[in-house]
Structure 1
Amino acid sequence: MRASDSLTSADLAPPRPGTTRAFLRHADILVGRLIEACAALLVLIETLLLLAGVVARYVLHQPLTWSDELASVLFLWLSVLGAVVALRRGEHMRMTALVARCPASVRAYLDAVAVAAVAIFVALILHPAYTLAVDDQIMSMPALEISSSWRSAALPVGAVLLLLTAAMRMLNAARPALMLSAVASVAVIGVALVACKPLLADLGNVNLVLFFVVMLGACVFAGVPIAFAFGLATTSYLALATMTPGEILVGRIGEGMSHLMLLSVPLFVFLGLLIEMTGMARRLVGFLAALLGHTRGGLSYVLLGAMYLVSGISGSKAADMAAIAPALFPEMRARGSKPGELVALLSAAGAQTETIPPSLVLITIGSVTGLSITALFTSGIVPALVVGALLCVVVWYRHRGATVASATRLPARELTRALIAALPALLLPFLIRFVVVEGIATATEASTIGIVYAVVVGLLIYRQFDWRRLGPMLVETASLSGAILIIIGAATGMAWALTQSGFSDALARYAAALPGGKWSFMAATVVGMIVLGSVLEGIPAIVLFGPLLFPIAKLVGIHEIHYAMVVILSMGIGLFAPPFGVGYYSACAVARVDPAEGIRPLFGYLVALVAGVVLVAAVPWFSTGFLH
């Protein structure tokens, strides 16, 4: 799920030297590099700042009272600059299933509409963001004793940079006429909505359908990046159907994308890149292959086990698949596995491991619902094992009649060598869980410990650390994090608007009235989250619906941690299920396999995944048995 290619420099028309367009193009590139450098530096500073906080508190017993406040200030700047970098690199998440099926001319037009929609949303929030920053000048941060505007100024600055980036994409478009027609189309729709404002004021809750179903659905399916689709629908609803000041929405967006608990998002993304660069993931896979590679379907079990272990390190599904597939797929192909079977298994493994800590989805769900991150980390391991066991049954069934692979069982000495080589990498996920569960560090701070550990292992043990890749990795971290965090911010604003409209109360009444009590609510959740997971991905869906659904689950008698596991696994199925599941297409891209080849082999794994979710939903102990 990426932003349209038209948002990247590759599709910009090359300007003639000496022209105004050439000057603007070079200025745009220079500004872009400066923004990337600032964002990368912020990732590094946040890592060092949190690490210093852990050392000061746990080792020196002298907590830094100002560290969390400074980290929060810098985090909002990192989030907005990362969002700008993501827009420049074309890495904002979007739903492309329908756009990709359109003719080339229609696809180009919709890509241009996506750019125009981004520009219009940012233009709408620019003045409220500036007003909010000005109002915050009179407020002071208690620990740092500086004006709060140092923090909130990130929002108008980020809005200006996003608007300039979108404008440069328009000015340098390869087909200016197409871009103008797209801008005109979006402007006409906007003028029509403003003209209808007196009518909208009398429609009441019908506006929820118009803005959050019709308008939002049209934006998402037309390929507008999800964060900006959320923001555009919410801004339009509040401006045209309510009297709510825009500053309130901007404030909610800023709070949503800078919650200190979410600081673990960029740090775990960076950690995932480090384990790939230092060779830790490759050695994990090598050990598992040496252990099981000689059995029927042995490398399939290795893939499932490797995804389980690596998920506990990186927290990013894209990073997991990118670390595992290149190491295993060549040998699996050599042993006769078909490409479709490979990508189907990779997708199923990705869905299985959604609850394994330190999953970004776990961290997000804790942030938006107030659940304990430690409890979520503790509870996520067993549900993934349950689902993984059912996937292993499918692997066994499909390979039961196969001839034993030509690979021979390794001697104990070579197996021991593989274990010793992989041991530092094997210890990392357990280290992260240990420091969180024992209270040494928070889930956010644990990521910095993992980063230090990965650097030390790469430098001193594996002796595989390419300093030249460090800068690009920091930029990639900022970009991916910005793409995720702006979705969380926009969805937080949307969830607040829905709550203020009374939608959450109506949803609670409807859920309470379902026949069958908590079991019917749980069944409805599974079906609904599979659908939402395929359309919105896990993080946007959780941020949007988590604050609404979790209080209802508690009301009908469902343990919130148990409910969280069911929600995450259900959305994982949707995320990796074709035809809309973007995780499936990411797996196809990593494996370099035509998506059509994996659909039929994936069906059996989807049955196992659904059966696993049903089993986890029916037996709460799998989720809560180790909490006490």
Structure 2
Amino acid sequence: MGLLAVLEWVTAILLATDLLVVIGSVLVRHFFDAPVEWSDDVARALLLAVTFLGAAAALARGDNAGVTFFVDRLTPRRREQVDAAVAVLVLITTSAVFWYACKLLVETSGQTVGAGLRQEVFFAPLCVATAAMVLFTLDACLAFRLRDTLSALAGYAILGALWAAWSSFAPDTTPALPWVMGLAFIASLIAGVAIAFVLALSALVFIWCGDMLPGQFLAQQMARGIDNFVLLAVPFFILVGYLMEANGMSVRLISLLQRGAGRIRGGLDVVMVLAMVIFSGISGSKMADIAAVGSVLVPAARKSGQKPGDAVALLAASAVMAETIPPCVNLIILGFVANLSIGGLFMAGLLPSALMAFALILAAIVAGRRTAQSAIVGGTGESMSSMAISGVAAFGLIALIFGGYRSGFATATEISAFAVAYALAVGWVLFREMTWTAVGSVMRHAAVRSGMVLFIVAAAQSLAYVLTLQQIPHAIADLLVALTAQHGRWVFLLLSVLILIVMGSVLEGAAALIIFGPLLMPVARQLGVDPLHYGVILVVGMGIGLFAPPLGLGLYGACLIGGVRLEDTIVPILKYLGILFLCLILIAFVPEISTALPRALGY
């Protein structure tokens, strides 16, 4: 636990330093017309350190998401054996990445980047973080029965020996690498391995079972996959979401919405959807939004006599709706991997999210009932004027985010840093609820959450690179073009929706977009589909899959936050997801819903 605390504090300090570097460089550039040439390189190096060290801390805390639907149905003894096998597999994966990262660090020693920074600054965090991961996973392995751990280790050794013998004595009969990778992917996914390590393991299988790529390329791709200034917006917007919860803005905003709409038919459900709309326009993290809204409104739903499973289902559906409300992290990631305008994606997502929000609110009113007075007012003790001030502060933050990059003062990434400063100022000056202790706690949680999200991005980038080497994207693209030529562009749009729903349910959202965004976007361009319009389709489809039972990882998170069983949410979430699917079909076949605002604003 001492190592974990050190990792959390170091990662939080690095995140704060990155924040200061970005804000300082923008202010110097704007007021003194003197660009700070080294700021981008330093900011990217700090981002790499935050990502990998934060991911190591997330692993120690057990925060990494994985599909547990299948292992949850095992007997306790069988579950313990599977968990031991998973721990050993993660140990093997982290040890391999550590070894390859160290070799890469040695090979690039002495090289420098444009600003004069040594390459070691960019690759050393991966070495340090994976070393910590090895220690954490080794400790996890030792927590199981020694017999189970040794049995799992022996089983993997036998598998490796059998493959080595097969490929040595009968190489022409071995299955193709994509099939071997696919088998490893599915088996580890079913066993409950965290998504980031499923992706990394799949790429490692290609390296181990083939002879085309040295392991250093895996480490290099993991580092290069997030070595981009655009991705700095991810930890900054996640930090904004945590600060909103800590500075009191979340509770005040929800109480204000409750007083305004809580008394109408289906009032609590309407408030939940509206709260997700507002919070998603401020925080980039869907889990942070769900935590902020759910921690207040799910208990209120229980108090009003509503089934908590229904409330959590609507909360999850509202998170799908909010996937295209800027500054959503997945919009930023898609813009990065598909080379699309972040601002254009932000504008393209507004009307589709408004359509889905309207549909959910209408369903809530039609099927809802009036809420008891005791459940309407959250009991914050705040006056109406105080809550109104909170609303003004929240919309001030939204205005800062949208107005900042539209005015040309800063990029969307840089504006995310100023959004953090704004949230801190509101908590300290306006609400007087922020303390240095609270700031430290928020920075640690945001840094670990950011590391978890971006480590998935890094692992997905390495797998995407391996898939590209095998020309799998090219083969899929040719198949989609052929189907479209026979049946029309509508087939391509429908297949895209289905692919992202399925893959979004078995992968974390960012990973699905990283692998399939660059694969499908060129095909969409070739067929004449507007890239911003198609980007919205991809993000919404992925969102539906992310919260779809029984595998959707987002739904697991919502159930955990709401304190309900997955089984209690399945029937109501299917109803809401059906509504959102119909909205997605409408968005797909009426492109003006997505393209009207970007065109009007010059994107």
Q: Deviations over 1:335-390 (max 9, x none)?
A: 33222221121111111111111111111111111111111111111111111111
Verify the 8 A CA contact 1:94 1:224 in the aligned structure 2. yes
Kindly indicate whether residue 131 of structure 2 is the aligned counterpart of residue 160 of structure 1. yes
Kindly indicate whether residue 49 of structure 2 is the aligned counterpart of residue 109 of structure 1. no
Q: Which moved more, 1:604-613 or 1:327-336?
A: 327-336
What residue number does 1:196 align with? 166
What residue number does 1:183 align with? 153
Kindly indicate whether residue 355 of structure 2 is the aligned counterpart of residue 386 of structure 1. yes
Q: Deviations over 1:76-132 (max 9, x none)?
A: 122111121111111122111111111111211221122211221222233332222
What residue number does 1:147 align with? 118
Q: Deviations over 1:378-410 (max 9, x none)?
A: 1111111111111122112213xx468658999
Verify the 8 A CA contact 1:79 1:486 in the aligned structure 2. yes
The 5 Å alignment of 1:143-542 reads 143=115, 145-171=116-142, 173-198=143-168, 202=172, 206-211=176-181, 213-399=182-368, 402=369, 418-514=387-483, 515-542=486-513
Q: Deviations over 1:263-282 (max 9, x none)?
A: 22222111111000001111
Verify the 8 A CA contact 1:296 1:405 in the aligned structure 2. no
Verify the 8 A CA contact 1:201 1:240 in the aligned structure 2. no
What residue number does 2:589 align with? 618
What residue number does 2:559 align with? 588
Q: Which moved more, 1:263-272 or 1:133-142?
A: 133-142
Q: Deviations over 1:310-355 (max 9, x none)?
A: 0111111111111112322333333332222211211111111111
- The CA distance in 1 between the partners of 2:293 and 2:170, in whole Å, is 52
What residue number does 2:28 align with? 56
Q: Which moved more, 1:490-499 or 1:234-243?
A: 234-243
Verify the 8 A CA contact 1:530 1:570 in the aligned structure 2. yes
What residue number does 2:14 align with? 42
Verify the 8 A CA contact 1:129 1:250 in the aligned structure 2. yes
**Pair 1:368–1:199, CA change in 2 (3 A):** farther
Verify the 8 A CA contact 1:201 1:242 in the aligned structure 2. no
- The CA distance in 2 between the partners of 1:108 and 1:141, in whole Å, is 47
- The CA distance in 1 between the partners of 2:375 and 2:551, in whole Å, is 41
- The CA distance in 2 between the partners of 1:403 and 1:388, in whole Å, is 20
The amino acid across from 2:337 in the alignment is V
Unmatched segments (≥5 aa) in structure 2: 378-382
Share of identical aligned residues, percent?
A: 34
- The CA distance in 1 between the partners of 2:321 and 2:193, in whole Å, is 29
Unmatched segments (≥5 aa) in structure 1: 1-28
What residue number does 2:380 align with? none
Verify the 8 A CA contact 1:525 1:567 in the aligned structure 2. yes
**Pair 1:326–1:196, CA change in 2 (3 A):** same
Verify the 8 A CA contact 1:518 1:553 in the aligned structure 2. no
Give the count of matched residue pairs. Answer: 593
The amino acid across from 2:215 in the alignment is G
Q: Deviations over 1:443-480 (max 9, x none)?
A: 22112111110111111111111322322322222222
- The CA distance in 1 between the partners of 2:259 and 2:170, in whole Å, is 66
Kindly indicate whether residue 89 of structure 2 is the aligned counterpart of residue 89 of structure 1. no
Verify the 8 A CA contact 1:200 1:207 in the aligned structure 2. no
TM-score if structure 2 supplies the norm length? 0.94
Paired residue for 1:124, among 62, 85, 96? 96
Q: Deviations over 1:405-437 (max 9, x none)?
A: 658999xxx766642342112221221122122
Partner of 2:213: helix, strand, or coil? coil
The 5 Å alignment of 1:558-577 reads 558-577=529-548
The amino acid across from 1:43 in the alignment is L
Verify the 8 A CA contact 1:343 1:588 in the aligned structure 2. yes
Verify the 8 A CA contact 2:85 2:148 in the aligned structure 1. no
Verify the 8 A CA contact 1:201 1:241 in the aligned structure 2. no
**Pair 1:133–1:421, CA change in 2 (3 A):** closer
- The CA distance in 1 between the partners of 2:346 and 2:277, in whole Å, is 14
- The CA distance in 1 between the partners of 2:198 and 2:386, in whole Å, is 52
- The CA distance in 2 between the partners of 1:95 and 1:409, in whole Å, is 35
Q: Deviations over 1:465-509 (max 9, x none)?
A: 132232232222222222222211111111111111111111111
Q: Which moved more, 1:384-393 or 1:133-142?
A: 133-142
The amino acid across from 2:31 in the alignment is V
**Pair 1:348–1:31, CA change in 2 (3 A):** closer
Q: Which moved more, 1:67-76 or 1:579-588?
A: 579-588
Partner of 1:313: helix, strand, or coil? coil
The amino acid across from 1:512 in the alignment is V
- The CA distance in 2 between the partners of 1:506 and 1:216, in whole Å, is 20
Q: Which moved more, 1:457-466 or 1:324-333?
A: 324-333
- The CA distance in 1 between the partners of 2:370 and 2:430, in whole Å, is 39
Verify the 8 A CA contact 1:562 1:620 in the aligned structure 2. yes
Cα deviation for residue 199 of structure 1 reads 6.9
- The CA distance in 1 between the partners of 2:370 and 2:103, in whole Å, is 70
- The CA distance in 1 between the partners of 2:63 and 2:459, in whole Å, is 16
Verify the 8 A CA contact 1:529 1:571 in the aligned structure 2. yes
- The CA distance in 2 between the partners of 1:130 and 1:340, in whole Å, is 47
- The CA distance in 1 between the partners of 2:14 and 2:541, in whole Å, is 35
**Pair 1:136–1:291, CA change in 2 (3 A):** same
C-alpha RMSD of the superposition: 2.2
**Pair 1:335–1:243, CA change in 2 (3 A):** closer
- The CA distance in 2 between the partners of 1:404 and 1:272, in whole Å, is 28
Partner of 1:153: helix, strand, or coil? helix
**Pair 1:156–1:195, CA change in 2 (3 A):** farther
- The CA distance in 1 between the partners of 2:173 and 2:204, in whole Å, is 17
Partner of 1:544: helix, strand, or coil? helix
- The CA distance in 2 between the partners of 1:416 and 1:87, in whole Å, is 43
Q: Which moved more, 1:315-324 or 1:338-347?
A: 338-347
Verify the 8 A CA contact 2:15 2:46 in the aligned structure 1. no
The 5 Å alignment of 1:12-31 reads 29-31=1-3
Cα deviation for residue 608 of structure 1 reads 0.8
Q: Deviations over 1:530-550 (max 9, x none)?
A: 111111121111112212111
**Pair 1:478–1:183, CA change in 2 (3 A):** farther
Q: Which moved more, 1:446-455 or 1:106-115?
A: 106-115
What residue number does 2:568 align with? 597
Cα deviation for residue 200 of structure 1 reads 8.2
Q: Deviations over 1:164-221 (max 9, x none)?
A: 22223223x142222222222222222222333347854698321221x211110111
Verify the 8 A CA contact 1:269 1:316 in the aligned structure 2. yes
Verify the 8 A CA contact 2:428 2:435 in the aligned structure 1. no
